[in-house]
Amino acid sequence: MSDKTMTAEEAVSRLESGMTLGIGGWGSRRKPMALVRALLRSGVTDLTVVSYGGPDVGMLAAAGRIRKLVAAFATLDSIPLEPHYRAARERGAFELMEVDEAMFLWGLRAAANRLPFLPVRAGIGSDVMRVNPSLRTVTSPYDDGETFVAMPALRLDAALVHVNRADRLGNGQYLGPDPYFDDLFCAAADTAYLSCERIVDTAELTKAAPPQTLLIKRHVVTGVVEVPGGAHFTSCAPDYGRDEAFQKRYASTPWAEFAARYLAGDEAAYRAAVEEDA
Amino acid sequence: MTTRAEYCVIACAEAWRGGGEILASPMGLIPSVGARLARLTFAPDLLLTDGEATLVRPDGTAEGWLPYRQHLELVTGGRRHVMMGASQIDRYGNQNISCIGDWARPVRQLLGVRGAPVNTLNNPTSYWVPRHSRRVFVERVDMVCGVGYDRAAGARHHRIPRVVSDLGVFDFATPDHAMRLASVHPGVTVEEVREATGFALVVADDVPCTREPTAAELRLIREVLDPGNTRAREVPL
């Protein structure tokens, strides 16, 4: 059994410019922000990012690391519009594959199942077809004869996700109300880096929680990173809620100023700056 | 005296009348009060969420689990009626929440298509517009997120039961499914609605008023569902 623990820096050092990168969580909820911060400290760029977008997308867009984005939205939840994503879109900073939330999910499922596409009853009739001219349709071979979008597999070079607990082998556990789609991101990716609030012994995982909280299985995980507060400032229930005050600061501070204050140093420096400004 | 916001709550609640045992998915404050009002009065079988992953009874008791992955399955299963917002909507019910201007380089980036395409092709989708204006009710939307009737040929589960705004209630009960003024809220004139709409509405000779709330409904809105009067923040009249 191999110990997969590594630092955020080690995880990011295995990523390369030009990769297709899936990022777990949803909006401003349980995003692998410490891994994103490590990515921002690295030189990795020219990324195709696949995400139910939140501040992960906003920060990478603001830093000019995204060549292409695959998404159905970008939001900070309590602040409906992601300001840095928005600014980047309005200056035409990257290519966008804008798809519906269900199309996005079916694309991940197709990749996880090694299928070239999955049929989905979403997108037909909408401008999703106009802005994605590469999308094809498929007609049911049965009596209904219905036409569907053939949503192509969203295969990923790497996935970044954050959960509440994990063991050193890569078994990942969520303890909040929603798993989001982190297991699918990992299964759709060639390599997956799992950060967690706390690494515990395998036996510890099911001492107080049922086995169905074990969302991510070790065979799809490449590296495990222990980083308490690793989803900050997004929520990571039940360990902590969203840091609304800090999120407001993120949304209202010019990017260069924000990056200089919070992203110039390592994760410890980030934590210290956050605490100092709280 | 009943406020405009309260007529809006009633008009939103009516969207779920007769829906049966389905999930009510209200987006926005007044639709949320409306859905819970319907659940407490004439539509007791409705399912409601806490806005995240739990199905809850009106008193907050959890009765089920509905994480996003299952919510999307429920959408495609069709047993749901969602009331979405609309940054733009046109005469056939095409809706936009993605961006304003040219999609390739938008003047104003908004949310993104979100689940509007999957919603409109799979379960009844109504809309809520808190500030009725020509900027929202437009001749053509810049990006079709929610599919309208003129683009829904062959979409067997497509239905837009109603659009509710701060001025009135609208539906598509016309031969070509063009938007019709179904009722005006008391205090609003038909002319006012026409003036605030960027396309020619279908208007009958006699447009009824949105119905009055019952005394019990008013009490529920004011004392149980929204005692802090947050509804007045969405519709100040």
Degrees, nearest 5: CA angle A46-A48-A52? 135
Summarize the confidence of residues B208-224 as an average pLDDT: 98
Q: Do A100 and B116 touch (CB under 8 A)?
A: yes
Helix (H, G, I), strand (E, B) or coil at B75: helix
Nearest chain B alpha carbon to A82: B111
Query: Does the CA dihedral B164-B113-B74-A171 come out positive or negative?
Result: negative
Nearest to B197 by CA among B96, B89, B123: B89
Q: Do B117 and A128 touch (CB under 8 A)?
A: yes
Alpha carbons A70 and A125: distance in angstroms, whole number: 20
Degrees, nearest 5: CA angle B146-A122-B73? 110
Work out the percent of chain A whose per-residue pLDDT is above 90. 99
B182-200 residue pLDDT tens: 999 999 999 999 999 999 9
Q: Out of A26, A90, A127, name the one closest to residue B106 (CB).
A: A90
Is the predicted pLDDT of residue B203 greater than 80, yes or no? yes
Whether the CB-CB separation of B125 and B22 falls below 8 Å is answered with no
B143 touches chain A (CB under 8 A): yes
Summarize the confidence of residues A79-85 as an average pLDDT: 97
Whether the CB-CB separation of B164 and B12 falls below 8 Å is answered with yes
Q: Out of A125, A127, A180, name the one closest to residue B68 (CB).
A: A180
* Other CB atoms within 10 A of residue A102 CB: 25
Whether the CB-CB separation of B178 and B94 falls below 8 Å is answered with no
A261 touches chain B (CB under 8 A): no
A69 touches chain B (CB under 8 A): no
A192-205 residue pLDDT tens: 999 999 999 999 99
Rg (chain B; Cα; Å): 17
Alpha carbons A93 and A67: distance in angstroms, whole number: 8
- Predicted complex ipTM: 0.96
Is the predicted pLDDT of residue B34 greater than 90, yes or no? yes
Work out the percent of chain B whose per-residue pLDDT is above 90. 98
Q: Do A103 and B118 touch (CB under 8 A)?
A: yes
Q: Do A177 and B151 touch (CB under 8 A)?
A: no
Q: What is the pLDDT of residue B108?
A: 98
Nearest to B21 by CA among B6, B37, B38: B38
Indicate which of B71, B80, B109, B150 best probes the interface with A, i.e. most A CBs within 10 Å of its own CB: B109
Summarize the confidence of residues B141-148 as an average pLDDT: 98
Alpha carbons A13 and B171: distance in angstroms, whole number: 56
| Maximum Cα–Cα distance across chain A | 65
SS3 content of chain A, % helix, strand, coil (to 5): 35, 25, 40
- Over chain B, what is the mean pLDDT? 97
Q: Do A73 and B147 touch (CB under 8 A)?
A: no
Nearest chain A alpha carbon to B103: A131
Nearest to B15 by CA among B224, B190, B182: B182
Interface contacts (A, B; CB < 8 Å):
124
Is the predicted pLDDT of residue A1 greater than 90, yes or no? no
Q: What is the pLDDT of residue B237?
A: 79
As a residue count, chain A comes to 278
Work out the percent of chain B whose per-residue pLDDT is above 70. 100
Residue A262, min C-alpha distance to chain B (Å): 26
Alpha carbons A251 and A58: distance in angstroms, whole number: 9
As a residue count, chain B comes to 237
Torsion angles phi and psi, residue A243, rounded to 5: -85, 90
Is the predicted pLDDT of residue A215 greater than 80, yes or no? yes
Q: Out of A126, A177, A181, name the one closest to residue B53 (CB).
A: A177
Summarize the confidence of residues B135-148 as an average pLDDT: 98
Q: What is the pLDDT of residue A99?
A: 98
Q: Out of B111, B113, B117, name the one closest to residue A80 (CB).
A: B111
List CB contacts (< 8 A) between B118 and chain A. 100-103, 120-123
Summarize the confidence of residues B122-128 as an average pLDDT: 98
A228-274 residue pLDDT tens: 999 999 999 999 999 999 999 999 999 999 999 999 999 999 999 99
* Other CB atoms within 10 A of residue A22 CB: 28
Residue A223, min C-alpha distance to chain B (Å): 25
B189 Cβ contact list (under 8 Å, min separation 6): none
Nearest chain B alpha carbon to A184: B69
Residue A41, min C-alpha distance to chain B (Å): 27
A42-60 residue pLDDT tens: 999 999 999 999 999 999 9
Please count the helices (runs of H) and the strands (runs of E) in chain B. 7, 12
Element housing A152 (H / E): strand A147-152
Indicate which of A28, A121, A129, A242 best probes the interface with B, i.e. most B CBs within 10 Å of its own CB: A121
Residue A1, min C-alpha distance to chain B (Å): 32
Indicate which of B71, B96, B113, B158 best probes the interface with A, i.e. most A CBs within 10 Å of its own CB: B113
Is the predicted pLDDT of residue B122 greater than 90, yes or no? yes
